[in-house]
Amino acid sequence: MSLVLVLNSGSSSIKYQLLSPEADGPQATGLVERIGQGSGRIRHEGPGGPVVQELDIADHEAGMRLVLDTFAEHGPQLDASTLTAVGHRVVQGGDLFTGPVRIDDDVVAQIDELSPLAPLHNPANLSGIHAARTAFPDVPHVAVFDTSFHQTMPPAAYTYALDRQVAAEHRIRRYGAHGTSHRYVSRAVAEFLGRDVAELNTIVLHLGNGASASAVRGGECIDTSMGMTPLAGLVMGTRTGDIDPAVLLHLARTAGYDTQALDDLLNRRSGMLGLAGHTDMRDVHAAVEAGDEDARTALDVYHHRIRGYVGQYMAHLGRVDAIVFTAGIGENDEVVRAGALAGLEHYGIVVDPERNAGRKKAPTVISPDGAAVTVLVVPTNEELEIARQAVEVVAA
């Protein structure tokens, strides 16, 4: 049986899972937080249940050492000789990476070269890669990119109508994100329905704190809602999603917004937070029930945007077999699932209220029997997908 340590390194955190893709569930999960911020913390959940330790964690290398010490003390035993691979989530692979790759110094240099496209994420991913390669010098390390599933998009879908030379010089185009989730879910749907993925046309709605939609034809992505960065597309917890770019010019010219202020407004103060005052969809629903008009409008905007993307992807796919909800909101929120697809009955898209009710921990059909389009909820599992891809790269 193969064994993979999956790492997702942020600017001040390392999220990890130890798992075997052939077994059910991870052997251990954990999160190192507030790296380099004075009051660090690790939460580790292994065979003995959760343990939490608070201590100063200087940098990612110290964080990695802490992870290893925690495994040694609380289990399971993590012996480098039993690891098939370390799988790293990398946010931006640009047009350089169409699939997962074994990490060597050239790959590290390429990920670094793409940092201007993901200035917060790629350098953080590289810190994690560096720390893990130091900790496990003899284990294969594999990079799995958030963007690579979307590399099958045709030029018509990924090209912005921008001056071609400017776009080429600055690598400006649609790359998409959440690709690991979109790939996992589009394959899991085919498996659940007992269909060949090559025959299935699917719209995947990944609705979490970040949110994205993708159109998948025969297992290949043909369009996605996130753009050069994860700011485009659907309304998110704190991000605008699609917006007229002239709004930025307007704010810069008339209100003195600089790039930092615009970044903060669009990425951190907008979306459901900006509209309703809450990032968590459960709080938005509570506010709607309490009669809050702003929250009602926010939810309407959220649904309207999703429905628009569904329509767009129906047009691009031609025939849609399945529409799939996933991630925190998609898996748990029956109000959003019903609201986002309301009014699409004429297209054969219907959500059955009884089947839709409640949170879904396993793949579930929520459309009525015999509906033209099968609507489902399929829980995503990005760590499992990263582990599978890492094993495939090592085996190849």
Residues assigned a catalytic role: 146
Residue 295 is a binding residue for ligand AMP (CB under 6 A)? no
Amino acid at 299: L
Q: Give whichever of 223 and 382 is closer to ligand AMP, judged by the CB atom.
A: 382
Torsion, Cα of 270, 274, 277, 281 (10° steps):
-50
CB 396 within 8 A of CB 85: no
Residue 328 in marked binding region: yes
Residue 332 in marked binding region: yes
Residue 334 in marked binding region: no
Q: Give whichever of 179 and 328 is closer to ligand AMP, judged by the CB atom.
A: 328
Residue 271 is a binding residue for ligand AMP (CB under 6 A)? no
Residues 6+ away with beta carbon under 8 Å from 359:
331, 332
DSSP notation for 114-166: TGGGSTTTHHHHHHHHHHHHHH-TTS-EEEEESSGGGGG--HHHH--SS-HHH
Joined tokens for residue 103:
């990490």
Residue 330 in marked binding region: yes
Residue 31 is a binding residue for ligand AMP (CB under 6 A)? no
| Alpha helices (H) along 211-364 | 246-255, 259-268, 271-276, 281-289, 293-317, 327-332, 334-340, 353-356
Size of the site for ligand AMP (CB under 6 A): 13
Residue 15 in marked binding region: yes
Secondary structure class of 14 (helix, strand, coil): strand
Residue 204 is a binding residue for ligand AMP (CB under 6 A)? no
Judged by CB under 6 A, which stretch of 11-19, 295-303, 315-323, 325-333 contacts ligand AMP?
325-333
- Binding ligand AMP (rule: CB under 6 A), the pick from 14, 222, 314, 327 is 327
Q: Give whichever of 206 and 388 is closer to ligand AMP, judged by the CB atom.
A: 206
- Binding ligand AMP (rule: CB under 6 A), the pick from 280, 292, 294, 321 is 280
Secondary structure class of 301 (helix, strand, coil): helix
Per-residue binding string, ligand AMP, 130-169, x by CB under 6 A, is ----------------------------------------
Other CB atoms within 10 A of residue 152 CB: 16
Q: Give whichever of 263 and 280 is closer to ligand AMP, judged by the CB atom.
A: 280
Secondary structure class of 68 (helix, strand, coil): helix
Q: How far is the CB of 298 from ligand AMP (least distance, A)?
A: 12
Q: How far is the CB of 285 from ligand AMP (least distance, A)?
A: 7
**E strand or H helix at 168, and its extent?**
helix 164-169
176: alpha, beta or left, given left = phi > 0 and alpha = psi -120 to 50? left
Residue 361 is a binding residue for ligand AMP (CB under 6 A)? no
Residue 333 is a binding residue for ligand AMP (CB under 6 A)? yes
Q: Give whichever of 269 and 359 is closer to ligand AMP, judged by the CB atom.
A: 359
Residue 201 in marked binding region: no
Tracing tokens 């590290």 back to the chain, one arrives at 108
Joined tokens for residue 241:
């999603």
Residue 359 is a binding residue for ligand AMP (CB under 6 A)? yes
CA 219 remoteness from chain centre: 18
Tracing tokens 């380099």 back to the chain, one arrives at 36
- Binding ligand AMP (rule: CB under 6 A), the pick from 100, 237, 241, 379 is 237
Residues 6+ away with beta carbon under 8 Å from 297:
275, 276
Residue 223 is a binding residue for ligand AMP (CB under 6 A)? no
Q: How far is the CB of 216 from ligand AMP (least distance, A)?
A: 19
Query: Which has the closest alpha carbon to 309: 210, 240, 215, 373?
Result: 215
Residue 210 in marked binding region: yes
Judged by CB under 6 A, which stretch of 79-87, 122-130, 275-283, 316-324 contacts ligand AMP?
275-283
- Residue of minimal CB distance from ligand AMP? 328
Residue 223 in marked binding region: no
Binding residues among 364-393 for ligand AMP as defined by CB under 6 A: none
Name the binding residues for Mg(2+).
8, 382
For ligand AMP, the binding residues (CB under 6 A) are 208-209, 237, 279-282, 327-329, 332-333, 359
Name the binding residues.
8, 15, 89, 206-210, 280-282, 328-332, 382
